[in-house]
Amino acid sequence: MRNKIFLICHEFSPNQGSECKSGWNTALQLNKVADLTIVAAETNQWGTRNYRQAVERESENNSLKIIWIPQARKYNRPRGFGSNIFVQVMYFFRLRGWHSKVIKELKFHKIDILHYFNHISFRAYDKRFNSLAPKVVIGPVSGTQILPGGFLTFGFIYNCNLILRSAANRLHRFVKRSAFKSPNISTIFAVTRDDVSYFKKIHSHVVPLSDMAQDLKADEMEKSVYKHSEKKKKKLLWVGRLDNLKGLDILLEVFKRSDRINSNYELTVLGDGANFARYQAVIIRYDLSIILKGQVPFAFVKNFMLQSDLMVHSSLKEAGGAVLNEAMSNGLPVVCHDSFGFSIHFDDQFLIKIPFISFETSVQVFQRELENIARNHRVLSQLRNNIENNFMPTTWEDHAMIINKEYK
């Protein structure tokens, strides 16, 4: 008889953000090999049921056992919610209230293994879950990393929010340690090098596991082939949400400073967000070789990858790096910060890593690396060759196999 496994996926959905989709894709794979029950929030933090509605639209959910637990709507959705410290604080109050409802419900179920699958932040874990099952698995979790002070370049209010956020992370490193010391906890999956180091000081069994995998399937017949041309501009691709934490400002500054880059590259930006109008104004004012495409259908992203020469990923904070997996799965080299899960899960032979120190350092090194590629096209050729011959993309099935091994 297989173990009865309960997977706690707070925000669970196939298409509302990477955090939600990570739980969804992992659950689909685990459900093939385990007696799985998912526990998910029926309503999101703004009080709407779009997560559940998205799940119910997907045909695969017919085979999933899901317990939907409602959660209270604590506040209206404010502008700039991703960096608003009030929202960050209220998020954890609301989450704790939802945890209480989950714990009350699960007391009536026989649970062999409880897996708290919330990789958004190590701060989110509630130690009350430790008493619900004889075996508890946590993660993949992330969030111990502190944003270096050199990236506080976005104005007084925004900088205050980032400082308070980092301070909360530092504080929770101490006050949350006891939550991870229960003898019932068998495994902690950790995303980044910092997370692994933090948890290994607390727990004896910490397993590195990326919180993202590829969604776009690579087709061997469609892989783009790099061809150097003295006349054509090289095509750069950037994908993400247009807010400060995704760091597109770094690349705007690079293009402003370097005539060589502005004349040798064309950067296509896929995504939308609060900064769209500001970025557009800067591009027009300085006549930068950057095109803001806005939000495009997910199915079209692969086409842009196949038509590009290099993915540039400037993010200052990551919940997951699915887009890097997807890019390299389609033969596209990447330049990104040497941080988050990228440091521990992606080999240097496939991508160029930028020191994660400060805004100015990032601008200088992104500029240096892109100018070097403009001078020497063999850099990209070598990266592409390495990817074609050696890169093994992480898949959701891989995740499920690693997790299921720990269950057993």
Kindly list the structural domains of the chain, giving each domain's residue range(s) and its CATH number in brackets, ordered by start: 4-213+395-407 (3.40.50.2000), 220-390 (3.40.50.2000)
Per residue in 34-75, pLDDT (tens digit) is 999 999 988 766 667 778 888 888 866 668 999 999 887 655
Q: What does the pLDDT read at residue 351?
A: 92
Q: Which of 54-68, 221-235, 323-337 is predicted most confidently?
A: 323-337
Q: What does the pLDDT read at residue 89?
A: 66
What's the whole-number mean pLDDT along residues 286-298?
A: 92
Which of 106-110, 142-146, 187-191 shows the lowest mean pLDDT across its residues?
A: 142-146
Which phi and psi angles does 357 have, rounded to 5°?
-120, -55
392 vs 105, residue with greater confidence: 105
Counting residues of the chain whose pLDDT is more than 70, the rounded percentage is 88
Q: What does the pLDDT read at residue 119?
A: 60
Q: What does the pLDDT read at residue 134?
A: 95
Whether the per-residue pLDDT at 330 is higher than 60: the answer is: yes
| Those residues with Cβ within 8 angstroms of residue 355's Cβ, 6 or more apart along the chain or in another chain | 337, 338, 361, 362, 365
Which phi and psi angles does 317 have, rounded to 5°?
-155, 130
* CA distance linking residue 61 with residue 164, whole number of Å: 39
Per residue in 360-371, pLDDT (tens digit) is 999 999 999 999
* CA distance linking residue 69 with residue 279, whole number of Å: 40
Q: What does the pLDDT read at residue 87?
A: 63
> What does the angle CA 114 – CA 119 – CA 123 come to, to the nearest 5 degrees?
90
Both tokens of residue 136? 């508890």
Which of 82-96, 111-125, 127-141, 146-160 shows the lowest mean pLDDT across its residues?
A: 82-96
Q: Over 261-299, what HEC string results?
A: HHHHEEEEEECCCCCHHHHHHHHHHHCCCEEEEECCCHH
Q: What does the pLDDT read at residue 364?
A: 97
Which of 47-61, 117-131, 273-287, 322-336 shows the lowest mean pLDDT across its residues?
A: 47-61
Residue 200 binned pLDDT confidence (cut-offs 50, 70, 90): very high
Taking alpha carbons only, the member of 350, 345, 336 closest to residue 388 is 350
Task: Identify the H or E element spanning 5.
Answer: strand 4-9
282 with 392: CB under 8 angstroms?
A: no
Q: What does the pLDDT read at residue 226?
A: 47
